[in-house]
Amino acid sequence: MAETVEFSILGLDSLTAKLESVTYDMKRKSGRSALRRAAAVIAENAKARAMLLDDAETGRSIADNIVLRWNGRLFKRTGDLGFRIGVKHGAVLKDGGELSANSPTPHWRLLEFGTQYMRADPFMRPALEESISDATNVFVSEYEKTIDRAIKRAARASGGG
């Protein structure tokens, strides 16, 4: 059902060297912050793409329902940091469905994956593919900034700077 996208980041030598001098806890905290900012780039692109598909007459907005959430399950299982970007409310309309902007939009799956009667018009997958390099750059720059700050704080605390 869900596709996986794998990629590698090249040119992180300076960041890797700095990580050696920072504690495990700081790596997790700053890594989570940097990863959130990187994922926000992808989420914003997905929202922009979803706005093009939203029907103003219905009042329901797929773009308003795109969310960025911490993947606690992944972290508990593997210790890896991760965020999920998706459309909230699931695929079921409850109580006949209201028509406010933040009401459920189960039809997003039909648009994203298509049906036997309708071709797919994806917006989430292309948002990831289009934003991956920008997100990677944001992650690297944000993570390096927080690591630099942590190194400076550690040097000040130890009386070295």
**Region 106-114: what's the mean pLDDT?**
84
- pTM listed for this prediction: 0.76
Angle between helices 124-157 and 24-53 (to 10 degrees): 150
Rounded distance between C-alpha atoms, residue 161 and residue 153, angstroms: 9
Look at residue 11 in the predicted model and tell me its pLDDT: 66
φ and ψ of 66, to 5 deg = -75, 125
Whether 97 shows a pLDDT value over 80: the answer reads no
Judge whether residue 89 has pLDDT over 90: no
- Domains in the chain: boundaries: 22-92+99-155
Phi, psi of 69 (to 5 degrees): -130, 145
Taking only the tens place, the pLDDT of each residue in 129-145 is 999 999 999 999 998 89
Q: Is the confidence at residue 1, as pLDDT, over 60?
A: no
* pLDDT tens per residue across span 18-74: 666 666 666 688 889 999 999 999 999 999 999 888 877 777 788 888 999 999 999
Classify each residue of 56-82 as buried b or exposed e, where b means 16 or more C-beta atoms within 10 Å of its C-beta.
Answer: eeeebbbbbbbeeeeeeeeeeeeeebe
151-160 confidence digits (pLDDT tens)? 787 777 766 5
DSSP string, 38-102: HHHHHHHHHHHHHHHH--TTT---TGGGEEEEE-HHHHHHH----EEEEETTTT---TT---STT
Check residue 92 and give its pLDDT: 65
Check residue 95 and give left, alpha or beta (phi > 0: left; psi -120 to 50: alpha): left
CA–CA separation, 12 vs 105, rounded Å? 40
